[in-house]
Amino acid sequence: MPKDWFEWHDLYQTEPRLQQRLEIVREFIAHSLNFSPSGVIRVVSVCAGDGRDLLGTLANHPRAQDVHARLVELNSQLVERGKATIESLGLTKQIEFINGDATVASNYIGAVPADIVIVCGVFGNLADENELNRLLGNLSFLSKQGAFIIWTRGHSNGIPHSETVRTSLQQAGFAEVNFKLTATRDMGVGIHRYLGENLTEPKEQQFFVFSGVANRAR
């Protein structure tokens, strides 16, 4: 069991479910980039980890130079690793990695509204469905109208939690573009479009509470 979120990332080396999830997330990020109009593409990543999903996609994507991104992550070791990757890709002028709290509105000012919002490894770390709905409502501050939202949700004890997320997204006015289960069948990855208007002021200063812990991550 990983003792913290830095160690949790080591599971990418051994767990097929995480490896397959990453592959689908990168595919969905690439799809969003492919379908973004010409010009600057703004991206934010909520609880970004070491940013391997976005950065791994940009390493081989023709629109990489158009991307202006802010990744927000609390664990400083992960941020350092992400910054080193950004440097190796030559993207330091356009990608910021913030070592800060991704649950608060102030850490997104200047980077939103975004064209692509990455919320991977977050929905399974919320207390309940009310908290999920609260976070979905607060995405209206992060997202342009039509923005792509890319998300993941693991299943546990045979419960298909990703179906709950799909229903909540539909009820909150997001349109599904694609949804895939990993080959392990216990992890859902989705890409939706935000249909509502962008809110220039956040509804709440804190969007959600991240209550998960690394040694019990779902």
Ligand X SMILES: C[S@@+](CC[C@H](N)C(=O)[O-])C[C@H]1O[C@@H](n2cnc3c(N)ncnc32)[C@H](O)[C@@H]1O
Binding site for ligand X (CB under 6 A): 5, 47-49, 72-75, 78, 101-103, 120-121, 210, 217
Distance of alpha carbon 173 from alpha carbon 193, whole angstroms: 9
CB of 121 to ligand X, least distance (A): 3
Question: Are the CB atoms for 156 and 218 separated by under 8 Å?
Answer: yes
CB of 38 to ligand X, least distance (A): 28
Q: Which residue has the tokens 């969003």?
A: 32
Burial class (CB in 10 A: 0-12, 13-18, 19+), 110: exposed
How many residues does the structure list for the chain? 218
Which residue of this chain has its Cβ atom nearest to ligand X in the complex? 121
CB of 116 to ligand X, least distance (A): 14
CB of 33 to ligand X, least distance (A): 18
Instruction: List 104's β-bridge partners, or say none.
Output: 206
CB of 199 to ligand X, least distance (A): 21
The residue (of 171 and 205) whose beta carbon lies closer to ligand X is 205
Q: Which residue has the tokens 């158009």?
A: 66
The residue (of 102 and 147) whose beta carbon lies closer to ligand X is 102
The residue (of 66 and 73) whose beta carbon lies closer to ligand X is 73
The residue (of 11 and 196) whose beta carbon lies closer to ligand X is 11
Determine the residue type at 152.
T
The residue (of 15 and 197) whose beta carbon lies closer to ligand X is 15
H or E element, residue 69: strand 67-73
